[in-house]
Amino acid sequence: MNLDDRKIKILNAIIKDYISTGEPVGSRTISKKYELGVSSATIRNEMSDLEEWGFIIQPHTSAGRIPSDKGYRLYVDQLMKIETINESSIKMIEYLLKQKIDQIDLLMKEVAKLLSLITNYTSMVSTPQIQKTRLKHLQLIPLDDKSVVLIIVTDANLVTDNVIKMDVKADQETLNKLSAMLNESLKGLNIEQINLPLIQELKIKMGVYGEIVNPILDAIDKTIKTSSTPDIYLSGSMNILNFPEFSDIEKAKQLFYTLEEKDLLVSILSKHNSNGIKITIGCENEIDEIKNCSLITASYTIGGRSVGTIGIIGPTRMQYEKVVSLLSYMSNNMDKLLNKILDG
């Protein structure tokens, strides 16, 4: 169906007023606060059509209406105008940019804390995913007679290491030769391409070094798999209690339990790890416990490649314009924050 201009203006007014006040919106409120040039009776008729078509709902027997998930979807897709991020938020982000943070996990905690502080919602930040990058360099270094350190560096300057226990002694010269052979075979490959079939192929190719190379190749496979699951940093979980939508303790508990499930959060954010802003509203969320929430996410990049996600979760009457502008600005600055750490 095509909504005419008047219905669009009335729906926009209902959404903006409800986001602002949290109270159901009646025709008299719209008539007084928004200059639409029509009577309350006409507004009531238009609201009746909007309700029939599923864009607004009547939560109880009062005359007021609130937006449905369908109404919010039309709003974010067609009606909302992205705000310019305010000066105080810019100053807070610039302050973070100036801090001397030398660990990625500490940085992610600070980013999550800042996002929840600015928005008063709950924030989620995933650490960079090494498998989204390409192998830049691999080095094997003897630690002692039966131990070797494997260092993997990607093109995004992400570094991961692993200590490998050996059955035979490997001298530096042999390890240098193996490092050179492995770099020749693996350099430039997407980390996701360095999988078990490729590892098995390399074992055959390097058969002459079998006793030494097999545990090393197994360690490469294990290191990549272990590094593939990002950590998730959460901040502002209790903020959800500030909204009357979650005054029901059981409903709030279900949401809190969900926010404590790291694997579930990884799954949710992985489905949002695409370029740009993504918004899921209410029933669009696959997880039952967050079907009363909206989730807005933005991916961030290192070296032009998407490697992680930042997100905000809150009630469906979220301040969408404010959150979208903040996440856009923050994601555009994440590479600066990360490169300060990665470049040392």
Closest to 138 (Cα-Cα) out of 127, 152, 123: 152
Asked if the model's pLDDT at residue 227 lies above 80, the reply is: no
- Do 258 and 118 reside in the same domain of the chain? yes
Report, in this order, helix, strand and coil percent for the chain, each rounded to 5: 55, 20, 25
- Do 194 and 212 reside in the same domain of the chain? yes
Burial of 300 (0-12, 13-18, 19+ CB in 10 A): buried
Which CATH number covers residue 49?
1.10.10.10
pLDDT digits (tens, 9 = 90+) for 102-131: 888 899 999 999 999 999 999 999 988 877
- Do 239 and 323 reside in the same domain of the chain? yes
- Do 101 and 155 reside in the same domain of the chain? no
- Do 135 and 192 reside in the same domain of the chain? yes
- Do 135 and 45 reside in the same domain of the chain? no
The whole-number average pLDDT for the span 168-181 is 87
Asked if the model's pLDDT at residue 205 lies above 90, the reply is: no
- Do 276 and 178 reside in the same domain of the chain? no
pLDDT digits (tens, 9 = 90+) for 229-239: 788 999 999 99
282/252: higher pLDDT: 282
pLDDT in the model for residue 1: 64
The pLDDT confidence band at residue 82, using thresholds 50, 70 and 90, is confident
pLDDT in the model for residue 194: 84
- Do 306 and 218 reside in the same domain of the chain? no
Q: How far is 70 from 53, CA to CA, in rounded Å?
A: 9
What range defines the domain where residue 16 resides?
A: 5-79
pLDDT in the model for residue 273: 64
Domain boundary residue among 177, 203, 227?
Answer: 227
pLDDT in the model for residue 222: 81
Can you read off the two tokens belonging to residue 216? 């090393």
pLDDT in the model for residue 45: 93
- Do 256 and 335 reside in the same domain of the chain? yes
Which CATH number covers residue 179?
3.30.390.60
157/87: higher pLDDT: 87
Domain boundary residue among 227, 246, 271?
Answer: 227
The pLDDT confidence band at residue 71, using thresholds 50, 70 and 90, is very high
- Do 258 and 121 reside in the same domain of the chain? yes
- Do 118 and 148 reside in the same domain of the chain? no
Q: Collapse the DSSP code of 43 into the 3-class scheme (helix H, G, I; strand E, B; otherwise coil) and give the result.
A: helix
Asked if the model's pLDDT at residue 149 lies above 80, the reply is: yes
Domain boundary residue among 211, 227, 243?
Answer: 227
Asked if the model's pLDDT at residue 190 lies above 90, the reply is: no
**Total count of domains within the chain:** 3
Burial 114-126 (b: 16+ CB within 10 A, else e): bbbebbebbbbbb
Which CATH number covers residue 323?
3.30.450.40
- Do 22 and 110 reside in the same domain of the chain? no
Mean pLDDT over all residues of the chain?
88
